A and B are shown apart, each in its own frame.
Chain A
Amino acid sequence: MDFTIDSEQRALRDAAADLAERHAPDYGSGDVTVGPAEHDAGLWAALAGLGGLGLPFPEAAGGFGASPVEVSLVAGELGRAGIRSAYGEALVAASLLVDADQTDLVGAVADGAALVIPALAEPGRAWSLAASTVAAEGSGTGPDAWTLTGIKEPVQFAAAASHIVVPAQAPDGLAVLLVSGPKVTANGRVELAGAAATLLIGPDTAASALARAVNLGIVALAGEAVGAMDTAMTMTVDYLKTRKQFGVPLMTFQTLTQRAADMYVSLELARSSAQFAAMAITDDPDDSASISRAKVVIGQSGRHIGQEAIQLHGGIGMTAEYAVGHLMTRLTAIEHTFGDTRQHLAALAAHVGDHESVDVLA
């Protein structure tokens, strides 16, 4: 067990920090999209240039042969700068493409030529990796001769996507398919009315491939969330030092500083969990239990820090011209992406009797 990073990883993190600083939204200008993130092509090209998009995948599969640890480092810098992007989603999709030996498309994803997004959510349904209302049918003439019918909604970033990967119910069970040039209506609704699709992964391995892919996506989101929490924490501490009321700085009031201390505790627990999540799936990509535990900690910490950052700022924290509120928006979105706290706790609770205790040392 070792939490330190080597010189190559430090160089990557520093390069990601530079990139993030260049592409960071200027929240103070008030000229930043309020609400859910939108795709930024300039940022995306820069991320591709950094090598960020193919980082954890083997070179033979079209990637750059690093690991989820490097993903976590890059995502952390994006989060710290308040950048909201499709990084986690793109990695989920790419992981599935790698499992399906789509080497050319993985290469295109890695160099930014293609944006492939996973279409996971179904309207009106709680989070699940098992598609239930979208059906896949093959004509029997090969992997390219499939069609998909149903709705995936909402699919963030789908409007900008060149392709989507879609979990669907095939006649023999859950499968993962690829759709080129998806039809996306307003607000991320993907309508699949007999859309032509390529079978990527069949029922034998679709569930495990999806779980592995989402594990990687969660590592990216967890890294990003810790970066965002770090910035929310720093901004809050600075504000308590400089903002004066009743003629004194806010940090004079212990009711505020005690709460800031609790935020710091949440932040450090989240940081440990995010780093461990990256190490855990570098070691074993199928370690979904470790990922679920980390996602729970990240979800709870993000909620705590987001809420308190706004409360300790007061009204300014609510405005669109100040970063803290945007950070909380993003932390809330992260909590509800790739399984929320409830779903991950339910998954863990179902197996709580299977082990005596949790060993982090392996």
Chain B
Amino acid sequence: MHRTLSEEDAAFQQRMRDFFTTEVPQDIRDRWRAGGEVEAQDVRVTQRILNAAGLAVPSWPREFGGQDWTNLQLHIYLQEMQSASVPPPLAFNVNMVGPVIAAFASRELKERFLSPTANLDIWWAQGFSEPEAGSDLASLRTSAVLEGDEWVVNGQKTWTTLGQHADWIFALVRTDPDAPKKQMGISFLLIDMATPGVTVRPIQLIDRGHEVNEIFFDNVRVPVDQLVGEVNKGWDYAKFLLGNERVSVAPVGSIKRKLADAKGFARSVATDDGTLLDDVHIATRFAELEAQVMALELTALRVAAGSKDGKPDPASSILKLRGSQLQQDVLELVVDLAGPSGLLWDAGDTRDGTDGSGREAWTGKAAPTYLNFRKASIYGGSNEVQRQIISSGILGLRG
């Protein structure tokens, strides 16, 4: 048991830090750091820079561009990326569909899709949730019926994040409505969004942004060879995917970046006798959050070291649960720091040139960002679902 990094890991850390802070354009990182709606082009440009350097898909199998890194190195990679405000490789590509194709798809599908998926030549969307299938995902009803050498898809997906940019969608569809268990009749289908019968409708959220969508499938014809793995085994692949998603949604580095930025925000707000960072109540909230984030990061490191055979430790549910809570706590602190300056949104920087008075840009983003991230405890398996996984899967409490 020791704290220090080995010479090799320290050198790795420096290499990552140098790469992310020099190879990814500053203007892209500045926009990502400020937050708000995602610029698709920034994500594309960044992922291609990373991919060219072998840094887009480190967790994939080596033959498809992965790296033989230790879990600690993977943690350092993510930490340095997030610390430098580098837009991360698109999760739908690198954490979700890529690993599923690599693990379960035919050789033909691997050769067709993995390279463009790593390079974000294909932007993937996730077609899982439906209006009647949220936490109870296995109740999904979107159907796929085999006609000749095509699956004919009908139904609706929802909460499709960034679906407005997507070229393709990986969807869970019901291929056997008569299966004895609802989990047993589901398949994993790859669908070109340009196929006739696919319609995308935006959902506006309370932060005024357009991030999620509804996707409608009306007699969409999908070539039979675009089904991943075996028919009716889609639920197994989805569970594999969600396990990966959980590990990837403990954004410790992003939380730390935001908390560090928040100190600057607190310094910029004047009070009757100093700045908000001098306020005991605010300073104590920072101290408490730093302690709690430290505990989360340490747990992420400890759990990563405990994962076996590439399978996530069941304790990874802790990371999703606590990571989303702390992410929300930090954004709650930021909206409190903005206070009355945050009442009107997205004003930009209103400081004028003469006396510098005015509102800084972050104050206008504070409230919508705070509201937007209420999503974090809902997506990727809500926190109530995570507690269920912990209580039944780890503690053996089965009602």
Contact = CB atoms under 8 A, between A and B. Distances in A.
Contact of B2 (A273, A283, A290): A283
Contacts of B399: 251-254, 257
Interface string A288-326: 001011101100000000000000000000000000000
B286 A272 contact: no
Contacts of A241: 396-397
A293 B290 contact: yes
Contact of B286 (A240, A275, A349, A362): A349
Contacts of A158: none
B263 interface: yes
A172 interface: no
B292 A258 contact: no
A269 interface: yes
Interface string A255-275: 001101110110011111101
Nearest to B281: A349
Those 9 A-B pairs whose CB atoms lie nearest each other, nearest first: A348-B287, A261-B387, A272-B298, A293-B291, A349-B283, A261-B390, A257-B391, A279-B3, A269-B295
A360 B395 contact: no
A268 B315 contact: yes
B133 interface: no
Interface string B228-265: 00000000000000000000000000001101100100
Contacts of B398: 251
A362 B399 CA distance: 44
A34 interface: no
A360 B298 contact: yes
Given A9-B1, A279-B3, A261 B280 contact: no
B367 to A, nearest CB: 24
Interface string B269-300: 00000000100100110111011111111110
A272 B299 contact: yes
Given A257-B392, A353-B267, 11 more contacts: A1-B2, A1-B72, A252-B399, A258-B387, A258-B388, A272-B298, A282-B2, A297-B291, A345-B284, A350-B283, A357-B290
A4 B259 CA distance: 30
Interface residues of B, number: 54
A335 B287 CA distance: 17
A293 B386 CA distance: 26
Given A251-B399, A264-B394, A349 B318 contact: no
B165 interface: no
Contact of B295 (A252, A254, A273, A353): A273
Contacts of B3: 1, 276, 279-280, 282-283, 360-362
Given A260-B397, A357-B260, A358-B256, A269 B299 contact: yes
Most buried by A among B267, B386, B394, B399: B399
B1 A269 contact: no
Contacts of A346: 284
A237 interface: yes
29 contacts: A1-B3, A1-B301, A2-B2, A258-B388, A258-B391, A260-B395, A264-B318, A268-B318, A269-B296, A269-B322, A271-B299, A272-B295, A272-B299, A273-B295, A276-B298, A282-B3, A293-B290, A293-B294, A296-B287, A345-B284, A348-B291, A352-B263, A352-B286, A356-B260, A356-B263, A357-B256, A357-B257, A360-B301, A361-B13
Contacts of A177: none
Interface string A18-37: 00000000000000000000
A253 B259 CA distance: 37
A69 B2 CA distance: 9
Interface string A331-351: 000000000000001101110
Interface residues of A, number: 53
A246 interface: no
Contacts, number: 164
Nearest to B261: A356
Contacts of A47: none
Given A261-B390, A349-B283, A360 B297 contact: yes
A255 to B, nearest CB: 11
A362 B13 CA distance: 11
B305 interface: yes
Contacts of B318: 264-265, 268-269
Contacts of A280: 3
Nearest to A353: B277
A180 B297 CA distance: 45
B301 A3 contact: yes
A41 interface: no
Contact of A3 (B9, B79, B83, B302): B302
B310 to A, nearest CB: 19
Contact of A272 (B79, B302, B384, B392): B302
Contacts of B4: 1, 283, 362
B1 A352 contact: no
Nearest to A3: B302
A258 B392 CA distance: 10
A253 B398 CA distance: 9
A155 interface: no
A293 B294 CA distance: 8
A75 B28 CA distance: 49
Contacts of B1: 2-5, 9, 69, 275, 278-279
Nearest to A256: B397
Contact of B283 (A3, A269, A283, A352): A352
Contacts of A275: 1, 298, 302
A273 B390 contact: no
B266 to A, nearest CB: 9
B296 to A, nearest CB: 7
Contact of B390 (A240, A265, A278, A353): A265
B344 interface: no
Contacts of B79: 361
A260 B283 contact: no
A301 B249 CA distance: 23
A237 B297 contact: no
Nearest to B322: A265
Contacts of B298: 272-273, 275-276, 360
Interface string B186-199: 00000000000000
Contacts of B100: none
Contacts of A269: 292, 295-296, 299, 318, 322
B391 A4 contact: no
B5 A264 contact: no
Most buried by B among A69, A346, A360: A360
Interface in A171-203: none
A268 B298 CA distance: 10
A215 B256 CA distance: 25
